[in-house]
Amino acid sequence: MIRLAALLLLIAALPLRAEEVVMGMSRDSVNITADFDGSEVLIFGAVKREAVIRPDPPLQVIVTVAGPVDPVTVWRKERRAGIWVNADAVEIDAAPSFYAVATSGPWGSVISEVEDLRHKVSINRAIRSVGAPMTISDSRSFTEALIRLREKSGLYQNLFNTVDLRESTLFDTAISMPANIVEGTYQVRVLLTRGGQVVAQHTSEIGVGKVGIERWLFNLSQRQPLVYGLLSIVLAVVAGWGASAAFRAMRSG
Amino acid sequence: MQIYLPIAEVSVNIFLLFGLGGLVGVLSGMFGVGGGFLITPLLFFMGIPPAVAVATGSNQIVASSVSGVLAHLKRRTVDLRMGTVLLCGGIVGAALGIWLFNLLKTLGQVDLLVRLCYVVFLGVIGGLMFIESLRALRRSKRGGRPTRRHHGWVHGLPFKMRFRTSGLYISAIPPLMVGLSVGILSAIMGVGGGFIMVPAMIYLLGMPTKVVVGTSLFQIIFVTAFTTLAHAVTNQTVDVLLALILLVGGVIGAQFGTAVGTRLKAEQLRIALATLVLLVCGKLALDLFLTPADLFELGVGEQ
């Protein structure tokens, strides 16, 4: 109820334009705790407009969530002397660690090729690969492999027809993040399209980070590795000795 | 129940980890092996990054070895003097091994080399142990006494030391060399090295089987502690939460393993270990020779 009220307030406060996006999220941060097993973020919003709704071409909504962008090395195996070894490598310059794209209709009807290229909406476009070494002729297959492998682990998601759009005004969708996501700032984009052309867009952010003991251990391991290493050894020795002592006590008592 | 591991950055089932730790603990107590050669590939199969699996494995081995060695100390089946000599070689070897590992990492292909190391060493040692213990088993069935082997060259070396618990009077050089080479291998392969140490002590140094397990565990504690520290400092890949879960299962398992181990005959113990070593070797070899399901692989280590 409060969310709805806030939304209406937002709509009222917006400056005048043809069609604009007003959006909200069920959370603006994802906390990685000890029992973290993935998370779901609800993304919802409304289209603000001054004029009456144009029925044609129909309004479509695209929602994307992108994780921190990093270079990735993709290896291809080859059989050499009977053994499969990593033979060729292609460094992909920038690939989001997580990418989900949800649409309100089939892919072909929501955005044109040109607009996809311009706004980098599809997974293919979100990955940037400048060039492969001269020795590799089919560098495309490496990019495809990256997408395939990350799709398999739930890090890349094509969610066509999953944005629920009502009366060309209210929309909502749910993006689920798997447990193996990395920390960082996640970019959330909402794009409105008509006839394949982007007519409005809005971006927001979700912070993904470890909290509590997870945060503390991670920081210690990075900042004071020697202390962390000694701590792990002491814990191991104490646990080993403790178990031994406990068993002796159990047998005698 | 799922648990999120802070360093590995994955979520895994906590009971599965307990079970894995327990299984390796039983093996550790029974055979005097750290179980690293099992725990490292198994963690890898669970989706834990290989670098983290290797480093955390060695941390877990510290705990199960401490637990195991205490049981052996009580029964006086640890040759502390021999253990110390092996350990001196082991630490130097581990330092060398870590240096070599980092050198190979800059050259690439370290993953393949580690796996090849596994296949070769597990295959050779498992095979040798299997044949040897099969022979010993046949001999004991016929009622004949096992013939003690004499190594002429071992007795000709200088710096002789008396190892009372083992009943040996040999040069300190062979145990030092054994410790050194096992140290190198343990750092490269991310294992305690018990599966190499145990046969080396039996066949090369001629130590009695009952003393071998305790002494091997004693030596492993220090070498793996050193490796853990080195990994934590150079790569930040030790996941203490993962290690804790594994070691709780592991230390309990080790107690059962030690109890079972004392009831089995030495030949049976050896043949069981040989079979296990060969099984793991076979699985790893298959992975190298069979066409992989996906020819492509994402680079590991960069996040």
**What are the pLDDT tens digits along chain B (303 aa)?**
778 887 877 788 888 888 888 888 787 777 766 677 778 777 877 778 777 887 888 888 888 788 778 878 888 878 888 888 888 888 899 888 888 877 776 665 666 777 788 788 778 878 887 887 788 777 766 654 444 555 555 666 666 777 777 777 777 788 888 888 888 877 777 777 777 787 788 877 778 877 888 888 888 888 888 888 888 888 778 888 888 888 788 777 877 877 777 777 777 777 887 888 788 788 878 877 777 777 777 765 443
Q: How many domains does chain B have?
A: 1
In a domain, B95, yes or no: yes
pLDDT of the residue at B302: 40
Least CB-CB distance to A182: which of B2, B112, B303? Answer: B303
Least CB-CB distance to A232: which of B47, B59, B297? Answer: B59
**Chain A nearest C-alpha distance from B56 (Å):** 9
Chain A partners within 8 Å of B286 (Cβ)? none
User: pLDDT by residue (tens digit) across A55-81?
Assistant: 778 888 999 999 898 888 888 878 877
φ, ψ dihedrals at A196, nearest 5°: 85, -5
- Closest residue of chain B to A251, computed from CA coordinates: B255
pTM of the model: 0.72
Chain B partners within 8 Å of A38 (Cβ)? 11
Contact A206, B33 (CB under 8 A): no
> Rounded to an integer, what distance in angstroms lies between the CA atom of residue B146 and that of residue B138?
10
φ, ψ dihedrals at B51, nearest 5°: -60, -40
Whether A240 sits inside 8 A of B3 (CB atoms) is no
In a domain, B211, yes or no: yes
In a domain, B297, yes or no: no
Is-cis flag, bond preceding A57, omega within 30? yes
Residue B153 structural domain:
2-289
- Closest residue of chain B to A241, computed from CA coordinates: B67
**Chain A nearest C-alpha distance from B2 (Å):** 6
Residue of A75, A224, A226, A232 to mutate when probing chain B, most B C-beta within 10 A: A232
Residue A135, SS3? coil
Q: Chain A neighbours among B 210-269 (CB < 8 Å)?
A: 221, 225, 228-229, 231-233, 236, 238, 240-241, 243-244, 247-248, 251-252, 254-255
pLDDT over 70 percentage in chain A? 90
**Chain B nearest C-alpha distance from A126 (Å):** 17
pLDDT of the residue at A65: 92
Whether B251 sits inside 8 A of A240 (CB atoms) is yes
Whether A35 sits inside 8 A of B4 (CB atoms) is yes
**A246 pLDDT higher than 90:** no
Residue B143 vs residues B138, B140, B146, B147, B269: alpha-carbon distances, Å: 9, 5, 9, 12, 19
- Closest residue of chain B to A36, computed from CA coordinates: B4
Chain A partners within 8 Å of B243 (Cβ)? 232, 235-236
In a domain, B90, yes or no: yes
In a domain, B82, yes or no: yes
pLDDT of the residue at A31: 85
User: Is B288 within 8 Å of chain A by CB?
Assistant: yes
Chain B partners within 8 Å of A211 (Cβ)? none
**A97 pLDDT higher than 60:** yes
Least CB-CB distance to B11: which of A37, A225, A244? Answer: A37
Nearest alpha-carbon partner for B65 in A226, A248, A239? A239
Q: Chain B neighbours among A 201-230 (CB < 8 Å)?
A: 210, 213-215, 217-218, 221-222, 225-226, 228-230
Whether B298 sits inside 8 A of A33 (CB atoms) is no
DSSP annotation of A128 reads B
- Closest residue of chain A to B14, computed from CA coordinates: A35
pLDDT of the residue at B149: 52
Whether B6 sits inside 8 A of A38 (CB atoms) is no
Chain A partners within 8 Å of B296 (Cβ)? 74-77, 141-142, 145-146, 148-149
**A39 pLDDT higher than 70:** yes
In a domain, B298, yes or no: no
Question: Tokens 């398992």 belong to which residue?
Answer: B253
In a domain, B118, yes or no: yes
Pick from A35-39, A46-50, B90-94: least confident = A35-39
**Chain A nearest C-alpha distance from B47 (Å):** 10
In a domain, B299, yes or no: no
Q: How confident is the model at residue A5 (pLDDT cuts 50, 70, 90)?
A: low
User: Between A and B, how many residue pairs show a Cβ–Cβ distance under 8 A?
Assistant: 186
Whether A229 sits inside 8 A of B232 (CB atoms) is yes
**A209 pLDDT higher than 80:** yes
Whether A243 sits inside 8 A of B302 (CB atoms) is no
Nearest alpha-carbon partner for B32 in B250, B218, B281? B218
Chain A partners within 8 Å of B109 (Cβ)? 85-86
Residue A70 vs residues A66, A96, A149, A180, B205: alpha-carbon distances, Å: 12, 6, 16, 15, 52
Least CB-CB distance to A182: which of B9, B247, B248? Answer: B9
> Rounded to an integer, what distance in angstroms lies between the CA atom of residue A208 and that of residue B108?
32
Spatial CB neighbours of A41, under 8 Å, sequence gap ≥ 6: A25, A26, A27, A30, A65, A174, A175, A176, A177, A206
Q: Chain A neighbours among B 61-120 (CB < 8 Å)?
A: 62-68, 70-71, 108-109, 111-112, 116
**Chain B nearest C-alpha distance from A98 (Å):** 12
B68: which strand partners? Answer: none
